[in-house]
Amino acid sequence: MGFLLLAIVTILIIGGPDLAPYDPEAFHPKFRYQGPSLQFLLGTDQFGRDLLSRVLGGARSTILFGITATALGTVTGATIGLISGYAGGAIDEVIMRLVEALLSIPSLLFAVLILTVLGGGTVNGILAVAITIAPPMARIARGVTLSVRNRDFVAAAIARGERRSFVLLREVAPNIAAPLVVEATIRVAFAIMAGATLSFLGLGAQPPASDWGLMIAEARSNMQRNPWLVIGPGLGIAAVAIGFNLFGDALRDALNPRLRR
């Protein structure tokens, strides 16, 4: 199920804009606030733009936003957690207290805060979401690092006189990857929703982009006149979120040796 949804997502990322029947930014003034019809499969918006084309056109930017932000946040968080967990002692204490302080701020509020300082826009939106993802990732990475660090093959490497960078990158890092990758796939859904929310608040993508969050934001005032304005992009966000969540679950089962067989 998760794989099926993800397959659709992949097609949307690659071919979304090309699949669209109309130019997503072309106005059709005669057909404003249309319901679904054969001509416009999902109906049209307040300017008569084809909703299906806009949903398809926005797929790439919306989904790539989620994936990029998650990847960035995961790598940052993993690095922090790895160093913190491996170093231990006072360094660990300081880093983890800072991470906990960041964790105490609600993530969306935190992202909004960052964007207020940095200014809106897609790139800054990615940065903001990545920064909110990093602290929980750091916590997970640190926890796994702590258990991997005490395993004998790490002791063996230290006893051999391996360089610290080798121990960290080749002995410890590959062994903490599995739980992080799983967590990251689940976080992609969160990142997409966060990105959509930021666009909705006017802090992410700017009009006339066909970002899903932005589409819902623009539709808010006209929702009563044509509910299809919200349903299309809303369903898109839901499908991608569920897809990544299911994929993450499947990945966790596949990577867990105790459940394998």
**Minimum CB distance to other proteins, residue 170 (Å):** 7
DSSP 8-state class, residue 44? B
89 lines the binding site for other proteins (CB under 8 A): no
**Cβ-based neighbours of 55, under 8 Å, separated by 6 or more:** 42, 210, 212, 215, 232, 233, 236
Q: How many residues bind other proteins (CB under 8 A)?
A: 17
d(CA 41, CA 122): 29
Is residue 90 involved in binding other proteins (CB under 8 A)? no
Q: State in angstroms the smallest separation of the CB of 181 from other proteins.
A: 13
Q: Which of residues 177-206 bind other proteins (CB under 8 A)?
A: 177
Q: How far is the CB of 144 from other proteins (least distance, A)?
A: 13
Q: Which helix (H) or strand (E) holds 182?
A: helix 173-200
Q: Which of 29, 89, 119, 257 binds other proteins (CB under 8 A)?
A: 257
CB 223 within 8 A of CB 157: no
158: contact with other proteins by CB under 8 A: yes
Q: What residues contact 105, with CB distance under 8 A and at least 6 apart?
A: 113
Q: Which is nearer to other proteins, 151 or 225 (CB)?
A: 151
Residues in contact with other proteins by CB under 8 A are 151-153, 155-162, 170-171, 174-175, 177, 257
